[in-house]
Amino acid sequence: MTPTTPTAPQSRPRSLAVPLVAAMVLIAAACGDGGGGEADDRASAPAAESGAAALGGVCPETVTVQTSWLPNATSFGPLYALLGDDPEVDANRKRATAPLVVDGRDTGVSLELRAGGPAIGFSSTTAQMYADEDIDLGVAGGFDEIVQNSATKPTLAVLALLEKDPTMIYWDPETYPEFETIEDVGEAGTTVLYFGGDTYMEYLTGAGILDEDQVDGSFDGSPARFVAAGGKLASSGYAAEDPYMYEHEIDDWMKPVKGQLVYEAGYPLYGPSLVIRPERKDELAPCLEKLVPIVQRAQVDYLREPDATIATIVGIAEQYRGGDVLTEGIARYGIGEMKRLGIASDDAEGGDTTVGNFEPERVQRIIDIGEPLFAEQKKPIKDGLKPAGVVTNEFVDPAIGHGR
């Protein structure tokens, strides 16, 4: 598979997707029952009859969300937090369905979370949304997927699930103790593995941060080449997952790696975002007015109290057995890194304390960077594309943030 967009961990194989240890399986802290504790309480609570949590009659009976990868604690945590207890799991089609619950109350509708990646033949979320009209919302794995498809399969982002894309370039600090940034990797001429077609690499080489001669687009998602090279390579990966995996779960390595977010190198992508097809905006607007703030609150609550949701995610992932590696350790590490690196912050660039909203100036920078790159790939974006053509904040509650 050769993806066409740089994304968060769900739209393409993560660097831990093909483990070195044969038959490594998904580990669940609380399997099958979708978790315990808080999850049990909220699922058994009475249905909400009024107020912001009541979605019956304004949302589809089942709100169907196509995600961009298998169950993942970094990007999809707030969505899985809204699943009631004992979700119905279709392991063959890799879908989980349960009452959509908020603060222990059934909202009157169900939530279906569909896995992406290998579950849909590595199709993008955008393509899947245009192929299946049952999908109400999607999680675009990378924000530039939204920009890239603006001319042919447009989507409108209604909420950023992550403030920063967690894609990183990492290296072995024992082999390269002098490296602190991606620019250092470029200056040394060290080979960098990545998935061919990822647009962030076009940015890094176009900006002169890396050289075209040093990047290798044949990366297949496995840590095998990095390990076999004794760390004399650099590689793309995910800041909320890969460092933990290398230090704690790859038997042939078991030591730290170090890296830098591509975001910090000047490619200001948002992480995975909730999107709709623009022609459904008017139809879904009454639902989105209530649902988007619910997801915002879930974003805040998930970082504060992730235990029950992590158990739910890992338990569902175990039932899918999709070849990906998700452990409780990775999930918990990811929560810490999301906070430390500002991946899930509500204030990446200063002054904005709302979680999940989009800053028009930043979106315009992403468009300006992406336009010539996509044109070079013979995939031109929509003529005259402006931020309002790909994002809207009209359903976002500005009063909801991590600090409030």
Decide whether 38-164+270-389 matches 167-265 in CATH topology. yes
**Structure tokens given for 182:** 């991606």
Q: Name the pLDDT band for 35 (thresholds 50, 70, 90).
A: very low
315/312 Cα distance (integer angstroms): 5
Q: What is the pLDDT of residue 377?
A: 86
Q: Model pTM?
A: 0.85
Single-letter amino acid, residue 102: V
345/343 Cα distance (integer angstroms): 6
The three-state secondary structure class of 73 is coil
68/362 Cα distance (integer angstroms): 23
Fold classification of 167-265 (topology level): D-Maltodextrin-Binding Protein; domain 2 (3.40.190)
Q: Name the pLDDT band for 347 (thresholds 50, 70, 90).
A: low
266/205 Cα distance (integer angstroms): 12
Domain ranges of the chain: 38-164+270-389, 167-265
Burial class (CB in 10 A: 0-12, 13-18, 19+), 356: buried
For helices 360-376 and 199-206, the axis angle rounded to 10 degrees is 90
Closest CA relative to residue 357, chosen from 74, 103, 163: 163
Tell me whether strands 258-261 and 215-216 are parallel, antiparallel or unpaired.
unpaired
State pLDDT tens for residues 251-295: 999 999 999 999 999 999 999 999 999 999 999 999 999 999 999
Tell me whether strands 234-238 and 105-114 are parallel, antiparallel or unpaired.
unpaired
Closest CA relative to residue 154, chosen from 368, 377, 394, 383: 383
Fold classification of 38-164+270-389 (topology level): D-Maltodextrin-Binding Protein; domain 2 (3.40.190)
Report which of residues 115 and 3 the model is more confident about. 115
State pLDDT tens for residues 140-190: 988 999 999 999 999 999 999 999 999 999 999 999 999 999 999 999 999
State pLDDT tens for residues 53-82: 799 999 999 999 999 999 989 989 999 999
For helices 281-304 and 328-340, the axis angle rounded to 10 degrees is 100
- State the distance between the two ends of the chain, measured CA to CA, in whole angstroms: 42
